[in-house]
Amino acid sequence: MDNPTEIKAACGDIIAAFAHHVDHREFGDAVALFAEDGAFLRPDLEARGSDQIAALWADRPASFVTKHLCHASFFHDVGEESARAVTPFLLYTAEREGDETAPLEGPAAIAEYHDLFVKTDEGWRIAERRAIPIMLPRRA
């Protein structure tokens, strides 16, 4: 039986791993963090299941760089089979040319991940990740 501290640690590792894998273009590893029927939701899209989630990054150009700076997660409803967390994050995006360092501008978003984790035979996985924008740059 997992205690709440162990569950939070396991799910916290998933939160950190997702940001790392996406930012390092390890998209298959990011997809593997989701349950088989997991969902990734944003206001502009809904991806359900591994194939749809993988398709989110399939055509991402190599020149497109992201960096997710995640803050401490707040866990609630932590149980033996599921847990929920809210994780604030800053998202930076840029286009780079060749091997040059990407230019730094303000964040593309200040947002939160609202996650539902479930315990599977393979361990803890994301059942649903909802990205909720809190602040976005003004459009010209």
Q: What pLDDT, on a 0 to 100 scale, did the predictor assign at position 140? A: 67
For 11, half-sphere exposure in the C-beta direction (CA atoms, 13 angstrom radius) is: 36
Pick the closest to residue 24 from 68, 56, 55 (CA basis).
68
Helix residue spans in 24-132 (DSSP H): 27-31, 49-58
- Backbone φ and ψ for 23, nearest 5 degrees, come out as -65, -25
pLDDT by residue (tens digit) across 59-74?
Answer: 999 999 999 999 999 9
**Residue 6 token pair:** 């162990």
The domains found in the chain, sorted by start residue, are 4-135 (3.10.450.50)
Q: What is the pTM of this model?
A: 0.94
Amino acid at the residue 86: V
Q: What pLDDT, on a 0 to 100 scale, did the predictor assign at position 45? A: 95
> What's the pLDDT band for 36 if we cut at 50, 70, 90?
very high
Q: Reduce the DSSP state of residue 124 to 3 states and report it.
A: strand
pLDDT by residue (tens digit) across 88-136?
Answer: 999 999 999 988 999 999 999 999 999 999 999 999 999 999 999 999 9
| 9/20 Cα distance (integer angstroms) | 16
| 21/40 Cα distance (integer angstroms) | 15
